[in-house]
Amino acid sequence: MKKTPVIIDCDPGYDDALALVLALGNETLDVKAITAVAGNVPLERTYKNAVRICHYFGKEVRIGLGAVKPLVRELETGEMVHSPSGLGGVTIPEEVPMPKKENAIEVIKSVLEEADEKVTLIPIGPLTNIALFVSQYPELRNKIQEIVIMGGAAREGNRTASAEFNIYADAEAARIVFESGIPIVMAGLDVTNAFQILPETFSEYRAMGKTGVFVSEVLERYFDFYQTLGGVFKGPAIHDMVPVAYVIDPTVCVAKEYHVDVECCGEFTYGRTVVDFGGLSPDKNVKVLFESDHQRIIGMLKDSICHLNRR
Active-site choice (239, 259, 294, 307): 239
Question: Phi-psi region for residue 134, left (φ > 0), alpha (ψ -120 to 50) or beta?
Answer: alpha
**Distance between CA atoms of residues 97 and 100, nearest Å:** 10
Applying CB under 5 A, what is the total number of residues that bind Ca ion? 6
Least distance in angstroms from the C-beta of 74 to ligand BDR: 17
Task: Name which position in 5, 6, 8, 16 contacts ligand BDR (CB under 6 A).
Answer: 16
CA 125 and chain centroid, separation: 5
Task: Name which position in 5, 13, 70, 271 contacts Ca ion (CB under 5 A).
Answer: 13
Cβ(13)–Cβ(221) below 8 Å? no
> Measured from the CB atom, is 15 or 217 closer to Ca ion?
15
> Measured from the CB atom, is 87 or 112 closer to ligand BDR?
87
Binding to ligand BDR (CB under 6 A) within 140-159 occurs at: 150, 158
Residue 193 binding ligand BDR, by CB under 6 A: no
Least distance in angstroms from the C-beta of 1 to ligand BDR: 29
Strands (E), 151-285: 184-187, 253-258, 260-262, 273-275
Residue 184 vs residues 4, 147, 151: alpha-carbon distances, Å:
17, 5, 11
- To 10 degrees, the CA torsion angle through 121, 125, 126, 128? -50
**Distance between CA atoms of residues 179 and 260, nearest Å:** 9
For residue 269, how many other CB atoms are within 10 A of its CB?
A: 16
> Measured from the CB atom, is 147 or 208 closer to Ca ion?
147
Cβ(17)–Cβ(52) below 8 Å? no
Residue 66 binding ligand BDR, by CB under 6 A: no
> Measured from the CB atom, is 122 or 208 closer to Ca ion?
122
The string of DSSP letters for 43-82 reads HHHHHHHHHHHHHHTT---EEEE--SS-SSSPP---HHHH
Binding to ligand BDR (CB under 6 A) within 196-225 occurs at: none
**Distance between CA atoms of residues 160 and 3, nearest Å:** 38
Interface mask toward Ca ion for 211-250; x: CB under 5 A: -----------------------------x----------
Residue 188 binding Ca ion, by CB under 5 A: no
Binding to ligand BDR (CB under 6 A) within 284-303 occurs at: none
Least distance in angstroms from the C-beta of 133 to ligand BDR: 18
Residue 126 binding Ca ion, by CB under 5 A: no
Contacts of 217 (CB under 8 A, 6+ apart): 89, 90, 91
Q: Is the dihedral of CA 309, 28, 43, 40 positive or negative?
A: negative
Annotation marks residue 82 as catalytic: no
Residue 241 binding ligand BDR, by CB under 6 A: no
Task: Name which position in 78, 86, 235, 271 contacts ligand BDR (CB under 6 A).
Answer: 78
List the single partner that 78 binds among ligand BDR, Ca ion, none, CB under 5 to 8 Å by kind.
ligand BDR
Task: Name which position in 56, 165, 205, 223 contacts ligand BDR (CB under 6 A).
Answer: 165
Residue 15 binding ligand BDR, by CB under 6 A: yes
Residues annotated catalytic, as ranges: 239
Interface residues with Ca ion (CB under 5 A)? 11, 13, 16, 124-125, 240
